[in-house]
A and B are shown apart, each in its own frame.
Chain A
């Protein structure tokens, strides 16, 4: 028998590929898979590692409790490279795997906006952490938010500044990306309800090396209080240092990044005595404390919101699939929308018809580097 080169090559390829294909076929259906888009490289790589830890703690707990529909839950991750194109590519790679039944998107609103059209096409539930209020108003029924959106953070910051700190003339400094712009808009809109006025609205581009012009603008505005929406901790660290160096000492209430571990490490004393709205605060509830204990056992440091939302998202998605009794996307979505009063690390989950699960924020204070819980401010959601 004469074996042609083509036949030989095809046979060799089949021989090499067969074990992998057989193994893969056998593995299909053995686990329930959740795909996770997460920064492994790029500017947000550090927070990405926190996010993975949160998700894996939940994964372990779900599996210890019997898994999903009697099968172990499995996490499949893809690096978004901390960029929008990277996020779209990462989601596309995950979406091409038909056995992935749900996804974890990004904590960054700008990346969520980039991925949202593809998420709409795939038609499977996506838990995410981006806080731009517009994300759950895109008409995309598959998006479920596991952090309170910025319309709440804006309301909480404005209310706390006016009613607790007694300051009403605001300077707002924010990133010009989707998160920062939406946050600043929400805060600006909340000011009149609290008898406050806007002295300065100052945007900046991410990854700046110098904030002197921004700080000088704040100083010249005559503002009594500063509200900020920073996306990257390195930017926040540079800004905080320059703010103090140039003598600006007005009270400062920031978005959640102001209490992120990286920001605390980088800015150090420059962030002492600042306030932050924090979707995650360890002392805010028993569920938050339980999560913190589990996280410390793994990472040996306190958790922050980078990990708490992914922990909640994996837990709640698993809960919804078990409640639905299937991984069929439409039924999982319906089950998500009926979740009421689930006590997660971030707070109490009650999903409204838009897919927003949380409706309030904690206020915390930086006391010499220790983040102390002050109060929680919740708003009544319109549940569908």
Chain B
């Protein structure tokens, strides 16, 4: 029982990381109908920005956090202008390829500027964790779970209960009709890229104290987050969260009770099963062809 509780906490913790990155996937998908494969790199860039401002320049943690998120907003805007906007009238395939190219470009740019050394980033709390009965609760994972829950609530409210959120949804569903109704489509898409870069950045900064800061940190998480998005249902915020948490728990329990080396295999087995039997995911619309 103790073992199961410990695994459950860890599974939810790591699942929340996937869910946070998956939120970024969902946002951009809802606005543009394409999958942004550079979403993981947003997390990596933000973590390195924190290293620069918090560790190297020794700015206060909160200030470094805000500046890093500001940098991510700028990156999101540039990303939209350079990667999406020139291809906005094409089908989704060239845009997806463009995001893959951008992902490689961003990773190699950070590599060229910073170098390959992984970095250590301290957590938000002095205490790394504490025991509740037999279960060790990592403070950073607790923070990740809390922030994920808050962002889900915020995002749900934003899309369902604000005019801007509805405009973004309208843009996603039919750009021409949205334009006819006076919605500034290009501005809506710009806002989406900025917001998703910031969300991805928050995920990267939160996860950095647990997984360290390295060039490859984003791509590893993004792959799982992408699987989580498929499982939950593309375009659905709740689905991405459920998918992320489910993936984290399934792979943790699968590793503990069946086989550790096949841990990643469980995640992708679930993905394949969903693609075959329920390609629209738990909550989402049918987009199997985009996987």
Contact = CB atoms under 8 A, between A and B. Distances in A.
Interface of A: 41-43, 45-46, 48-49, 176, 202-205, 207-210, 212-214, 216-217, 220, 233-234, 237-238, 245-247, 262, 265-266, 268
A202 B220 contact: no
Contacts of B120: 265-266, 268
A202 B256 CA distance: 11
Given A46-B117, A212-B7, A217-B256, A238 B212 contact: yes
Contacts of A202: 260
Contacts of A42: 215-216
Contacts of B108: 41
* 6 shortest interchain CB distances as A-B pairs: A45-B116, A213-B256, A213-B255, A46-B116, A212-B10, A176-B261
B115 A209 contact: no
27 contacts: A41-B108, A42-B216, A45-B115, A45-B116, A45-B215, A46-B115, A49-B115, A203-B260, A205-B263, A209-B220, A210-B10, A212-B6, A212-B7, A213-B7, A213-B255, A216-B6, A216-B256, A233-B118, A234-B118, A234-B211, A238-B210, A238-B211, A245-B138, A262-B118, A265-B120, A266-B118, A266-B212
A46 B6 CA distance: 34
Nearest to A205: B261
B244 to A, nearest CB: 13
Contacts of B211: 209, 234, 238
Contacts of B117: 46, 262
A223 to B, nearest CB: 16
Interface of B: 3, 6-7, 10, 14, 17, 108, 111, 115-118, 120, 128-129, 136, 138, 210-212, 214-216, 220-221, 224, 252, 255-256, 260-264
Contacts of B252: 210, 212-213
B136 A247 contact: yes
A245 B209 CA distance: 14
Contacts of B115: 45-46, 49
A25 B221 CA distance: 49
A7 B54 CA distance: 62
A5 B125 CA distance: 72
Given A203-B260, A205-B264, A213-B255, 6 more contacts: A45-B111, A45-B116, A203-B261, A209-B211, A212-B7, A213-B252
A267 to B, nearest CB: 9
Contacts of A49: 115-116
B143 to A, nearest CB: 15
B216 A207 contact: yes
Given A45-B111, A217-B256, A220-B3, A209 B221 contact: yes
A209 B16 CA distance: 13
Nearest to A176: B261
A84 to B, nearest CB: 16
A6 B108 CA distance: 40
A216 B5 CA distance: 12
Contacts of A266: 118, 120, 212
B157 to A, nearest CB: 30
Contacts of B255: 213-214
A245 B263 contact: no
A343 to B, nearest CB: 31
Contacts of A268: 120
Nearest to A216: B3
A46 B116 CA distance: 5
Nearest to B224: A209
A245 B6 contact: no
A46 B118 CA distance: 8
Contacts of B262: 205
B14 A209 contact: yes
Nearest to A45: B116
Contacts of B260: 202-205, 213-214, 217
Contacts of B116: 41, 45-46, 48-49
B69 to A, nearest CB: 23
Contacts of B129: 245
Contacts of B7: 212-213, 216
Contacts of B264: 205, 208
Contacts of B17: 209
Nearest to B129: A245
Contacts of B138: 245
A234 B212 contact: yes
Contacts of A262: 117-118
B6 A246 contact: yes
Nearest to B260: A204
Contacts of A45: 111, 115-116, 215
Contacts of A213: 7, 252, 255-256, 260, 263
Nearest to A220: B3
B222 to A, nearest CB: 12
A274 B110 CA distance: 33
A205 B220 CA distance: 13
A140 B41 CA distance: 41
B1 to A, nearest CB: 13
A120 to B, nearest CB: 30
Nearest to B248: A210
Nearest to B220: A207
**Among B118, B210, B215, residue most surrounded by chain A Cβ atoms (within 10 Å):** B118
Nearest to A39: B116
A263 B89 CA distance: 48
A266 B108 CA distance: 22
Given A246-B6, A262-B117, A210 B256 contact: no
Contacts of A214: 255, 260
